[in-house]
Structure 1
Amino acid sequence: MGKDMPKDAKPAQQRIDQFFSGPGGRADNWRDLVEAAKAWSRGGDRAKYDAALADLSVTEEFHGYPGLQLMAALREAAAAGDAATSLALATRITVALTTRSFRQHASDWSTKEEGNGDVPELVPPTFGAHTTRRPYFETLIVTGVAPGQWPALAAEWRKLRRPVDAFIYEPVIVGSLEDAFCATMLNPNIAAVIINEGFGLRSRHNAPVLRSITASAGLNDESDASALRLAQIIKRVRPELDLYMISNRDVEELAGNPEASVVRRIFYSVEELLELHLSILEGIQDRYDTPFFDNLKKYAQRPIGTFHALPIARGKSIFKSDWIRDMGEFYGANLFLAESSATTGGLDSMLEPTGTIKKAQEKAARALGADRVFFVTNGTSTSNKMAVQALLAPGDIAIVDRNCHKSHHYGMVLAGAQPLYVEAFPMTEYSMYGAVPLKTIKQALLGAKADGRLDRVKMLDLTNCTFDGHIYNTRRVMEECLAIKPDLIFLWDEAWFGFARFSPFLRRRTAMGAANEIEAWMHDSKSIAAYEKQQAELGKNPSNEVLLKTRLIPDPRQIRLRVYQTNSTHKSMSAIRQGSMLSVKDVEFHTVEQQFKEAVFTHASTSPNQQLIASLDISRRQMELEGYGLVANAMEIALAIRHAVNNNPLLSKYFRILGADVMVPAQYRQSGFTDYLAPGVNWANMLKSLDEDEFCLDPTRMTLVCGMAGYDGTQFKGILANEYNIQVNKTSRNSVLVQSNINNTRSDVAHLIRVLAEIAGEVDRGLAQGGANAKKTFEARVKSLMTDVPDLPNFSHFHPSFRGDAGTKTNEGDIRSGFYAAYNVAGCEHIRLNDPEIDRRLKAGPELVSANFVIPYPPGFPIMVPGQVITQETIDFMRKLDVKEIHGYDAKEGLKLVRAEALAKIGRPKPGAQPKLKAAS
């Protein structure tokens, strides 16, 4: 990591984890400092305290609190050999950081222990004196001023504070590009950045990890230390931040530079410091404003006469009742005061938004990097169906991950589109599928092209990330597909991945993040040269085999970028259940806008929940203002859980969280990345993995194997919920899915680990005390769960009756006709799963054709779809399943099949129907 690192520095891995995650690592550093101070005050080794303080001082420069004066006081106490003062001051700072009281209380900034008496000039009396709680943030100031002048500069900025300001902020001052970048990455409280000209390139601290990243970005000499270059770097890693620039040069020319578009406002010198201060507050206010929620709060305080069909509006039917008043007491008055079924009188319509909902959606589009965003109040199941219905017509072909959420399959039924199912790589040992290899997708496209059907292939429909955490290389997938079909539409179901927009690490793997990168590449003059160079290398008629092996480059002049992304906002942000957003980046949207509205009319409720809409508005505000830190914390929580389970001697005997090396086969990890916690792994080679590997693993989604403890997933999920009040969602035959989110804390981690330790201890004692028979029974159970697992069935094919003119050329099928074949009761039959008739027909025919969807939970994907020919492997899988919940299958009735006679009639003209006339040539 660098030979020039001090000997007393923390291990490189810990420093890297801190840089990767941030908030929790910083808190640990302060607690370590307090412990070292305690040891020193009891006569212990002072050198450990000095080393901890020196190590911590470097990164604390990038934070507003404790600030220059308190850090100077800590160093002075240490230099004077005053252990008692060092302990008291370090403890006070740590408590203030933990409780975040420094955001409101001036006394926390004082060097005096009681915080009474004279408040230092560092914090004027206006801090914390405002009657209402004001949100706190920090502003990064990048300057060429010498460090010795920073305290005076900070004091000048604090003088601008006024009691009428809606927010309060603290300046953070750095003097180089590297330190500015480091502060931006480490400090989640930074919400605005002021860039003065004249700063240097290199950090004044020893930061080898930082240097490896900046060097890879091409920052090699002082000429790279330009204000515009820094602005572009910061905007790339944290696009939500407001950037301001102060220049002593020709600001008019600078303002007209297209590269300066990332800057919110440019100022000349420091002639208008108050204007800059007001601009900063205005920028925060713009993100803080929630048009719909703010309006709803005002509406709730107005006297309204309700003569519409919503009796609970205003709450009178609740609070005047002797029988349901407890509902009002539980939820509170505002819930009912803010309810209405009217879309006039100050409220807006979800179906035709023109007011506050429209404004809220525009802010959401900005936050998510989209051209437009639609709020959806029926969950992402509805978002998916809306997109499929709006973008596909009967007869269109869509390449679909067979393991995607059922809403996509039902969307194909509604649209009359023909799914061409592609398979993800199997993880048979854990009864789950991964993601669809790019080679498989390209084969489907190239096959359709060879058959002359590429014009009918309209969409690629994939899940990113998957339930189990597999993340696509979205940019590579879209670029290579666009090289084959330049106008292909992409629908990325990112139900579980909405938070990723607010992580500079994961953003590149989102649909909107990749779409923005592709759009920028298309306008780069080098893109055409790259395309033409590859075409020259490939020659005129390259074989499909060559195309499959080549990382294809699309023609930037031909691309029609059409990308749709659905997010279950309630799954990873602070929205009420069923809150969803549909993001659009489609240059052809004007051609589908009307049908998109029709899809909205079809699926959206005419009585949407006002509180749900407001929560979507609020969730956007939160993520724009503090999402970066919240997501960093969620990732840190996940790493802590992974480490605690896999490195604990007792826990690791019976439980294991699968790493990327298990979840993602080696051939899809081209960078050689193994796992987040593998020895020698740092955030630099993790970035390399995110940029290069075909699939990555979302660190917040953890597959906890419980089969080694003798529990199947469903059983273990029940134990956690019923006995320990721990809720998890998805299970497999031998695992449960544990996921961290922006709601979790370190206390949650401790609770989970304690529970796992208790369960592991019970298993351990049971085996020790139960004798040979108990051990034999346990080993048999583990073998059944971990070894004797059923093979996962692939999709077979649609029956010829549902393939129209496709015949046997390609594998798409008319799923709509298959679905409605089940409505013909006389044309269907039921055969029980263990009936020998199934085995006889599998061998001798007629073929078994499913009349409906059959979806076992787990694994949660359809193993049969309407019109699919059922194979031996599907039956074998069904017979080995020991799950209780199988949608579309009634064990008493058996499998619902389309009769052979009904299949023969499908597609034939109805009696009396006129034959279609051929169009005149």
Structure 2
Amino acid sequence: MSREAKHIDQFLLIHSARDDSWREITTLADAWAAKRGDRAALEAAVAAISATEEYHAYPGLRLMRALNECIATDDAGGAAKLARRISNGLLTRVYRGRPAEWDVHDEMAPGEVADVMPPATGEAGARRPYFEVLYVNSQPAARWPALAAEIRRLRRPEDSFIYEPIFVGSFEDAVCATAVNPDIASVVLAEGFPYRSRHDAPVLRSVLDPLGASEAPDVSALRLARELKRIRPELDIYLLSDREVEKLAGDAAAYSVRRIFYAVEEPLELHLAVLEGVQARYETPFFDNLKRYARRPIGTFHALPIARGKSVFQSDWIRDMGEFYGINLFLAESSATTGGLDSLLEPTGNIKRSQEMAARAFGADHVFFVTNGTSTSNKMAVQALLAPGDIAVVDRNCHKSHHYGMVLSGAQPYYVEAFPMTEYSMYGAVPLATVKRALLALRAEKRLDRVKLLDLTNCTFDGHMYNVRRVMEECLAIKPDLIFLWDEAWSGFARFSPFLRPRTAMGAAVEIEAWLRNPESVAAYEKQRKELGDKPSDKALLAARLIPDPRQVRLRVYQTNSTHKSMSAIRQGSMLLVKDVDFHTVEAQFHEAVFTHASTSPNQQLIASLDVARRQMELEGYGLVMNAIEIALKIRRAVNDHPLISKYFRVLGADAMIPDAYRQSGFTDYLTPGATWAAVVKAMREDEFYLDPTRMTMVCGTAGFDGTQFKGLLATSYNIQLNKTSRNSVLLQSNINNTRSDVAHLVRVLVEICESIEKRLADGGEGERSAFAARVKSLMTDVPDLPNFSCFHEVFRGDAGRTTPEGDIRTAFFGAYDPSVCEYVPLFGKECDRRLSEGPEMVSANFVIPYPPGFPIMVPGQVLTQETIDFMRKLDVKEIHGYEKARGLKLLKPDAVAARVKR
């Protein structure tokens, strides 16, 4: 492990690497016992993991010491037996519920097996949730086993959870343990520990350096608490101090600490506090209440016959549905908002509490639960924040819900373009320079006051993540009260990774908030103001990394989150996150938006799943997200390094997905030879755009498949489901549900497909090979240019003489409701070509959205150009919303447009 300590896999794959290391140790021990190997190799393998094993409760010092004693005394059989037991224990996690597993001399009975199966229908879970607590102190390591035994004596049968202690003796070890062990849920700090680890292991440096942990004079417990909260904000931290704890508790720096105890005078109180802290995250107010409701005998006289399930289970015809879903689904159904239940539209009880807990977990001030998907969350936000005539700078390639939100609110979209990836028929993200130019252009025309909102997608379908803090700071330097709406439908789980969190709306907002409170922020602004002068040119503003005036900034940030897309929520579960210092000015409008869009009959199970998803992410989200990243890196390596698969398929790296100009760090890809973890972290922190590692664009055009065709093949023939495709690629997503077995299945399927291609080319002769080459060329070379937004027709642009392109999309949209003002022009034919060359201009009457790529290439009121028509003609997708092939393009009639001009 130390030999590859600087490799990119060293941290991101540290969890699966641990399991692999124990498999290797088991293999080496078996070989030694069978006299096919030697002791030295096993000894070296155990020594390589010894430092990081101290950061985990199991196998613990006692079992590790026993394994080393077996090796030292040449007990090959004993070493092999113990190594296999530890390895199997880690695989099955049996140690969490079987106390004897920690006993050196214990063995499972022949008929005893680890409980690894999911519970059967209706089976109540008997196991108590397990977690680990990190204790950081200056006690000698020889005393740690005795201290651990004392802590275990505090356990009580009535405790809701069970935990194991882990001891470390330095600042560095505490940071490493928190980073590498996702089972740690709480940390207890006793003052007086040193900074440096007692280990001199390269693996520790590979963890510490990317996290930004560097030696400093302040080695206090409070500084360590802040550092640990920066890495994992969900942790509960407790401080033991023999100083003036009353004064310490009043220190503003103690905000990272949940509770302060005087020395160790109250061990039981500390134990109870640890359990209470986890219970505060484990609580799911709505789900807990719904379970209680389902256990009550309820008479239903409201409009929901399916409630209680009698109409299902007493039926000969639909009883199978009840047997499939189980009785609890029906017992927990109700359309009532009384009798212990709450209203999603106006929550005052357990739903309100659940939303407050979600706000805590996701770093927001407020959270709205949404049961109609993030399409509804987006429309709610746009409606609440924008009024008719307001201008919103918006990514033209954003989800259609944003465009429809503009229609509903009457706001005028100022479309900005993402950088194109023409080769793969997709767009990236919007460059910051493009956004700044839009704001500066509006300022030049004295309409900056009408600009209310910047609306961007982060991360994009294909994984492009903005440098969110930089975007917001530079935009606030131009307009200090600009509101930001970040559509993070696809990356809600990024909150729970210390490396992805800064590239989220809430993560960046917290950083900006802290910067605004720092007195040095004013000095930084004044310094730049002097450098740029009182009236800097637009050119100078575009070139500078702008700093806003902290005295003028109003930080107003909104984030929509498809909880169901990246967390354990039922489909359509979404959250709308708010961090807005002026929320009180729009709160009433938000409630109106909720009334407008939310169903008056929301699904109770959806609300419960949002509650539970939050609980899971607060208690194990860190490890789950790390696992998703690990899975993605394994897929990338398995595809791109395989000698056969890589002939026909490849997963695109950052160098293919993000132009050089937006990768200021020079980072190319995770799999580039010599790539270091430090380089990855630098890219995460500095580059304008960063590629989410869990999103993998796999090119299939080189195998002769278009994206839709390949997606269908995987689904129908191999039971592999994908979502998004492009002309010549498919998108693979790793999530918190994936396992390494999924990777193995995907690799086996790709090998099978490649072998079939090889056989077909070998058996088919020159004709087959020529046809295959032509197909690949058509998919990979003869690709259509991607059209940019042209412009709104002048009749929908309002003020005469202005140059900025925002338009009245609402008027154009509803104007087309009158069929007498609409016409249809065939996409292919002389009339379309004549209109393009001679006029009159063709003005779209509706949205046209091809899937893929999934964004509107035509919006109501837009003037159609040759570029757009050429793209439409080259599309070979089956699904185009808003376009009827038999009738053609739906347009506003020229005379109707002319009549509006005259008015």
TM-score w.r.t. length of structure 2: 0.97
For 1:212 and 1:726, the matched residues in 2 are separated by: 36
- AA in 1 matched with 2:58: Y
For 2:765 and 2:486, the matched residues in 1 are separated by: 53
Residue in 2 that maps onto 1:513: 507
For 1:841 and 1:218, the matched residues in 2 are separated by: 60
Residue 10 of structure 1: CA displacement? 4.2
Q: Secondary structure at the match of 1:541?
A: coil
For 1:262 and 1:805, the matched residues in 2 are separated by: 53
- AA in 1 matched with 2:17: G
Contact 1:200 1:222 in 2 (8 A): no
Residue 208 of structure 1: CA displacement? 4.0
Residue 203 of structure 1: CA displacement? 1.2
Residue 149 of structure 1: CA displacement? 1.1
Residue 210 of structure 1: CA displacement? 4.3
Contact 1:22 1:632 in 2 (8 A): no
- AA in 1 matched with 2:614: R
The alignment's C-alpha RMSD in Å is 1.5
Q: Secondary structure at the match of 1:781?
A: helix
Q: Is it true that 1:771 corresponds to 2:794 in the alignment?
A: no
Residue 319 of structure 1: CA displacement? 1.0
Q: Is it true that 1:33 corresponds to 2:33 in the alignment?
A: no
| Aligned residue among 391, 406, 409 for 1:412 | 406
Q: Secondary structure at the match of 1:370?
A: coil
- AA in 2 matched with 1:768: A
Q: Secondary structure at the match of 2:844?
A: coil
| Aligned residue among 245, 251, 267 for 1:273 | 267
For 1:714 and 1:241, the matched residues in 2 are separated by: 43
Residue in 2 that maps onto 1:620: 614
Q: Secondary structure at the match of 2:288?
A: helix
For 2:243 and 2:326, the matched residues in 1 are separated by: 57
- AA in 1 matched with 2:327: A
Residue in 1 that maps onto 2:15: 23
For 2:731 and 2:640, the matched residues in 1 are separated by: 15
| Aligned residue among 621, 632, 646 for 2:626 | 632
Q: Secondary structure at the match of 1:154?
A: helix
| Aligned residue among 331, 339, 343 for 1:349 | 343
Residue 224 of structure 1: CA displacement? 2.7
Residue in 1 that maps onto 2:118: none
| Aligned residue among 51, 65, 79 for 1:86 | 79
Q: Secondary structure at the match of 2:746?
A: helix
For 1:172 and 1:741, the matched residues in 2 are separated by: 29
- AA in 2 matched with 1:905: A
Q: Is it true that 1:246 corresponds to 2:240 in the alignment?
A: yes
For 1:806 and 1:594, the matched residues in 2 are separated by: 35
- AA in 1 matched with 2:33: S
Q: Secondary structure at the match of 1:266?
A: strand
Residue 685 of structure 1: CA displacement? 2.1
Residue in 1 that maps onto 2:520: 526
Q: Secondary structure at the match of 1:314?
A: coil
Residue in 2 that maps onto 1:784: 778
- AA in 2 matched with 1:648: H
Residue segments in structure 2 that go unaligned for 5+ positions in a row: 111-123
Q: Alignment identity in percent?
A: 70
For 1:907 and 1:816, the matched residues in 2 are separated by: 17
| Aligned residue among 53, 57, 62 for 1:64 | 57
Residue in 2 that maps onto 1:185: 179
Contact 2:2 2:203 in 1 (8 A): no
Q: Is it true that 1:48 corresponds to 2:10 in the alignment?
A: no
How many residue pairs end up in the alignment?
A: 889
For 1:387 and 1:9, the matched residues in 2 are separated by: 50
Residue in 1 that maps onto 2:92: 99
Q: Is it true that 1:323 corresponds to 2:320 in the alignment?
A: no
**How far does the alpha carbon of each residue in 1:606-630 deviate from its partner, in whole angstroms, 9 at most, with x for none?**
0000000000000000000000001
Q: Is it true that 1:139 corresponds to 2:133 in the alignment?
A: yes
Q: Is it true that 1:312 corresponds to 2:287 in the alignment?
A: no
Residue in 1 that maps onto 2:117: none
Residue 214 of structure 1: CA displacement? 5.2
For 2:161 and 2:397, the matched residues in 1 are separated by: 47
Contact 2:2 2:201 in 1 (8 A): no
Q: Is it true that 1:300 corresponds to 2:316 in the alignment?
A: no
1:800-815 paired onto structure 2 within 5 Å? 800-805=794-799, 807-815=801-809
For 1:13 and 1:768, the matched residues in 2 are separated by: 43
- AA in 2 matched with 1:549: A
Residue 840 of structure 1: CA displacement? 0.9
| Aligned residue among 371, 375, 393 for 2:369 | 375
Contact 1:89 1:113 in 2 (8 A): no
Contact 2:229 2:235 in 1 (8 A): yes
**How far does the alpha carbon of each residue in 1:712-767 deviate from its partner, in whole angstroms, 9 at most, with x for none?**
00000000000000000000000000000000000000000000010011111111
Contact 1:201 1:224 in 2 (8 A): no
**How far does the alpha carbon of each residue in 1:652-696 deviate from its partner, in whole angstroms, 9 at most, with x for none?**
000000001110111101011111122222222212111110000
| Aligned residue among 539, 560, 576 for 2:554 | 560
Residue segments in structure 1 that go unaligned for 5+ positions in a row: 1-7, 118-129, 910-921
For 1:145 and 1:672, the matched residues in 2 are separated by: 45
Residue 83 of structure 1: CA displacement? 1.1
* Larger displacement relative to structure 2 (745-754 or 106-115): 106-115
**Closer/same/farther in 2, CA of residues 206 and 534 from structure 1, 3 Å limit:** same
- AA in 2 matched with 1:406: K
**Closer/same/farther in 2, CA of residues 219 and 26 from structure 1, 3 Å limit:** closer
**Closer/same/farther in 2, CA of residues 191 and 333 from structure 1, 3 Å limit:** same
Q: Secondary structure at the match of 2:128?
A: coil
Q: Secondary structure at the match of 1:224?
A: coil
Residue in 1 that maps onto 2:721: 727
For 1:691 and 1:131, the matched residues in 2 are separated by: 43
- AA in 1 matched with 2:569: A
For 1:217 and 1:892, the matched residues in 2 are separated by: 58
Residue in 1 that maps onto 2:698: 704
For 1:543 and 1:583, the matched residues in 2 are separated by: 36
Residue in 2 that maps onto 1:825: 819
**Closer/same/farther in 2, CA of residues 850 and 116 from structure 1, 3 Å limit:** closer
Residue in 2 that maps onto 1:912: none
For 1:216 and 1:345, the matched residues in 2 are separated by: 52
Contact 1:194 1:244 in 2 (8 A): yes
Residue 274 of structure 1: CA displacement? 0.5
Residue in 2 that maps onto 1:127: none
Contact 2:131 2:164 in 1 (8 A): yes
For 1:788 and 1:653, the matched residues in 2 are separated by: 20
Contact 2:711 2:722 in 1 (8 A): yes
* Larger displacement relative to structure 2 (724-733 or 25-34): 25-34
Contact 2:176 2:208 in 1 (8 A): no
**Closer/same/farther in 2, CA of residues 591 and 52 from structure 1, 3 Å limit:** same
Residue in 2 that maps onto 1:166: 160
Q: Secondary structure at the match of 2:167?
A: strand
Residue 25 of structure 1: CA displacement? 1.5
1:92-491 paired onto structure 2 within 5 Å? 92-114=85-107, 132-208=126-202, 210-211=204-205, 223-491=217-485
**How far does the alpha carbon of each residue in 1:125-177 deviate from its partner, in whole angstroms, 9 at most, with x for none?**
xxxxx993100000000010011111111111111111111100000100001
Q: Secondary structure at the match of 2:843?
A: coil
For 1:878 and 1:104, the matched residues in 2 are separated by: 60
Residue in 2 that maps onto 1:570: 564
**Closer/same/farther in 2, CA of residues 888 and 221 from structure 1, 3 Å limit:** closer
- AA in 2 matched with 1:31: R
Contact 2:846 2:882 in 1 (8 A): yes
Residue 248 of structure 1: CA displacement? 0.9
* Larger displacement relative to structure 2 (386-395 or 678-687): 678-687
**How far does the alpha carbon of each residue in 1:817-874 deviate from its partner, in whole angstroms, 9 at most, with x for none?**
1111211211111011112111111111100110000011111111100000000010
**Closer/same/farther in 2, CA of residues 350 and 269 from structure 1, 3 Å limit:** same
Contact 2:6 2:677 in 1 (8 A): no
Q: Secondary structure at the match of 2:308?
A: helix
Residue in 2 that maps onto 1:918: none
TM-score w.r.t. length of structure 1: 0.95
Residue 186 of structure 1: CA displacement? 0.3
| Aligned residue among 733, 737, 740 for 1:739 | 733
